[in-house]
Amino acid sequence: MGRPRKFSRESVLEKALPVFWQHGYARTSVQDLEQATGVNKSGLYSEFKGKEDLFLESLRFYFETRGGADLMVSEPLGWGNIEAFIRLGEEHPNGQSGCFSVNSMREFSDLPADVHDLVASTRARLKPLVVQNIQAENPTMDAEALAELVMVFFSGICIEQNMATGKQATNARITSFMQAMRVL
């Protein structure tokens, strides 16, 4: 009989997530993960199949705890929810920039298909919520097309947040984008 586990899965995910977020999948070593989580390699591999699985589960944990979908169903539906969603990339207690999911897309060629599928399915679940919020504002343009603009803008602003452009530049871009959306 093996020794009892001295860590929780959720705790490992909470601690591994910022490491993957900061360094990306390829540049994160198992030693980095051991140091961040306080769990040795054999402990990590007893809970996760390997680094790929730990990355996938960190991403899944991110989607479950980040609250993007929760924001999109807040009443009243409308531009306020869209703006709150876009601004998700600004606020990170762990000091990271942008969006972990968007950042991970830059490494898709190195990541397993399960990661691609998770990102795609999450985006597919989120887009109809974006559409509902846009439809609540009775836009003059097609809500589906506007939702695509929101999703693309969100990805772009998250990537820019990794650059040293400063919070004021990001805030100004989001404000301008939202002003444009409100007249479409």
The answer, yes or no, to whether residue 97 has pLDDT greater than 80, is no
* Cβ atoms < 10 Å from Cβ of 151: 16
Residue 98 zone, left/alpha/beta (φ > 0; ψ -120 to 50; rest): left
Phi-psi map region of 92: left, alpha, beta (phi>0 left; psi -120 to 50 alpha)? beta
Contact 55, 20 (CB under 8 A): yes
Burial of 109 (0-12, 13-18, 19+ CB in 10 A): exposed
- Name the pLDDT band for 1 (thresholds 50, 70, 90): very low
Phi and psi dihedrals of 94, rounded to 5?
A: -90, 5
Q: Rounded to an integer, what distance in angstroms lies between the CA atom of residue 7 and that of residue 20?
A: 19
Contact 161, 95 (CB under 8 A): no
- Is 44 strand, coil or helix? helix
Is the predicted pLDDT of residue 4 greater than 80, yes or no?
A: no
Residue range 164-168: mean pLDDT, rounded: 61
The whole-model pTM stands at 0.85
| Short-list 41, 44, 42, CA closest to 12 | 44
The predicted pLDDT at position 92 comes to 64
Matching residue, tokens 């929780």: 8
Distance between alpha carbon 131 and the CA centroid of its chain, in Å?
19
Could you check whether the bond before residue 112 is cis, i.e. omega within 30 degrees of 0?
no
Check whether 94 has a pLDDT greater than 80. no
Q: What is the pLDDT of residue 30?
A: 94
